[in-house]
Amino acid sequence: MFGYRVPAPNEALLISGRKQRGADALQYKIVTGHGVFVIPIFSRASTLTLAMQEAEVVEDCFTQQGLTLAVQAVIAFKVGDDHESIAAAARRFQGDQSQMATLVGRIFSGHLRSIIGSMTVEAIIREQQTLGEAILDASKMEMGRIGLAVDSLQISSIDDKGANYIKALAAPHQAKVNQDANVAQAAADQASAMARQESNRFQAEYARQTAVAQAEYQAEIDQAQQRAAQAGPLAAAKALQAVLAERALVAEKNAELREAELIAEVVKPAQAEAERITTLARAQADATKLSAGAAAAEGRIALDQLVIQQLPDLLRASAEGLQGANLTVLNGADGLNGVVASLASQGLAVLESVRRGLDREAAGPDERPSTSTDVTPTR
Amino acid sequence: MTGQTLVGRLGRVTTRVRGGPLPGEVRLVVQGIPHYYIAYCGQALAVGEQVLVINNRGGRQLDVELWRQAGADDDLPLTD
């Protein structure tokens, strides 16, 4: 208002049109942080932003090892706060400040190639100080000349375009980590298996103890049940035993009674009958014996006569039996006499035996009743 | 603020100065605003060392020298 201009905190006011005093003085006046009169028509005021701006750069770069990397970087920059920087930047960008970021990005593409080219992949990833120095050498000095201060340069991503270099960098560590993880997993599995097996062992042990205890209790129960089950039959058997004993007594009494009855009814009469028969038989036997004796005495005389009549025939038959035999007795006169004497004695013996046989035939039928009467009942 | 006003100021190294032609970066606070300049020095300077600006090369580049001052460490905070 009325030619008084106040720049914003992030702006520089450039006033041109008035001659500046001093030999090395700028041809225009730079005002920051406070207001100033701008005389209309004679002077002209324009602003230059001092705010931070950013430019994004995506560039294929070669590392120190010759590896191709696709690098994406973000650079944050601003116009320097000192008058020298403002003046340098104003000369370059005052006309079209909106193009500042684009221009800086293009400039910075070359710087990025230079930065990456001076480093290895490992240094880019790990060494922040080396990266900062590389940025300083490659970029900040040149940017300073055009009045720009680089506040920050961040590499947001790098890609080795399928070369797997970065992956390979991680491989040893990855393998180590995997190995540790596998070892830890195996140890955990081992501990788990041990615990599980131990648990199974304990479970089996407990089951065994339970089974043993159950079997013991079952055995006791069975024993008691058997005892209980046999108590009934046992009592019944004992009762039956008592009954049988009583029955035995009854039977014994019955037997005694029967015996007494039999004795009274059968034995005594039988004994009496037997005694009667014996007596009768004895009397008959005696009679028979007497009659037989008489008959034998008569029969023996007749038999002797018959035998004597047949004796010469018997001797002849004996002699004929010896006639066939070609026997020679060498015993002298005595021997011959012995043969004759023996023949005579044999004839006598034959005679005796024949007579005895006849005698037995004659006495046979009469002797039988006498033998039967010898049998007497014992009761 | 002109380039001449930087000479004589104290700053701190933020990116190590490797010495000779290889620069580092220093932080200067001028009129309450921190500025980051490219710094050269004859000797190597580690991060955090206090330096004195002895020359302004222009184009945001300075010459600095190591500046060790007893009890002066608290004058210039490294960060805001």
> Has residue A375 got a pLDDT over 50?
no
Q: Which residue in A129, A141, A151 is closest to B61 by CB distance?
A: A141
- ipTM, interface predicted TM-score of the complex: 0.77
Out of A98-107, A344-353, A362-371, which region has the weakest mean confidence (pLDDT)?
Answer: A362-371
Residue bearing tokens 């009743």:
A369
DSSP secondary structure letter of residue B9? -
The CA distance from A359 to B79, in Å, is: 179
* pLDDT tier at A370, thresholds 50, 70, 90: very low
Q: Which residue in A129, A149, A151 is closest to B60 by CB distance?
A: A149
Q: Is the model more confident about A338 or about A114? A: A114
Q: What is the pLDDT of residue A336?
A: 63
Q: Say yes or no for a CB contact (<8 Å) between B15 and A132.
A: yes
**Token digits of residue B28:** 């200067």
Question: Mean of the pLDDT values across residues A191-216?
Answer: 96
Q: What is the pLDDT of residue B73?
A: 53
pTM of the model: 0.52
> Has residue B24 got a pLDDT over 50?
yes
Interface with chain A: mutation pick from B60, B61, B62, B80, highest number of A CBs within 10 Å: B60
Q: What is the pLDDT of residues A175-190, one digit of tens each?
A: 999 999 999 999 999 9
Q: What is the pLDDT of residue A23?
A: 65
* pLDDT tier at A335, thresholds 50, 70, 90: low
Most confident listed range (A78-87, A103-112, A241-250, A286-295): A241-250
> Has residue B4 got a pLDDT over 70?
no
Q: Say yes or no for a CB contact (<8 Å) between B60 and A81.
A: no
Q: What is the pLDDT of residues A252-261, one digit of tens each?
A: 999 999 999 9
Q: Is the model more confident about A350 or about B27? A: B27
Out of A7-11, A183-187, A306-310, which region has the weakest mean confidence (pLDDT)?
Answer: A306-310
B18/A contact by beta carbon, under 8 A: yes
Most confident listed range (A203-212, A292-301, A359-368): A203-212
The separation between CA A57 and the C-alpha centre of its own chain, rounded to angstroms, equals: 69
Most confident listed range (A264-268, A301-305, A330-334, A344-348): A264-268
Question: Mean of the pLDDT values across residues A147-156?
Answer: 87
What is the pLDDT of chain A when averaged over all its residues? 85
Q: Say yes or no for a CB contact (<8 Å) between B1 and A141.
A: no
Q: What is the pLDDT of residue A376?
A: 46
